[in-house]
Amino acid sequence: MFAYELKRTKRKTIGIKITTEGAVIVMAPSYVSEREIKKVLKTKENWVEKKKIEIKKAKEQMAGDLAFLKERLFYLGQLYQVDVVLEPEFLKPSVGLYGEKIYIMVPSFEEKEMKMMLEQWYRMEAKKIIVDRVALYQEQIGVLVNQIRIKEQKTRWGSA
């Protein structure tokens, strides 16, 4: 069995949460006995150990070889530090600029997913700016733009 912190709550079921530090928190209704909680934890022992290992690996990877997280990224001509917030309770991963940092908030550490999310965020931000600019200039020059797409280019144009 593993060490855990017990929190009594008004919930109707027993919940298990593993923090990013690997601590296990058990949330249980006040009417459920310690014996019943231990019984449930015994059935979830493999799951808890698996999640602890995942979190440990994620931390090692984050400290390891992710160059794009070690570097500062440009956004609108300024350099920003990238921070990853790893929280298993995040249901929907997201990226955002808050203060002086670009935050990537994810439930689990997956390099591909994080890079994809960062790229999507850049595309959304670019589209917001470009749509505003196109609206301004299409009125001035009398041209109607039907669609704006932001795509990944396989080759670099305009450089020799």
pLDDT band at 68 (very low <50, low <70, confident <90, very high): low
pLDDT at residue 35, as a whole number = 93
pTM: 0.54
At 131, which amino acid appears?
Answer: V
Would you say residue 125 has pLDDT above 60? yes
> Per residue in 80-107, pLDDT tens?
888 887 777 777 888 888 888 888 888 8
Would you say residue 71 has pLDDT above 80? no
**Strands 94-98 and 101-106: what pairing?**
antiparallel
The rounded distance, in Å, linking the Cα atoms of 88 and 148 is 36
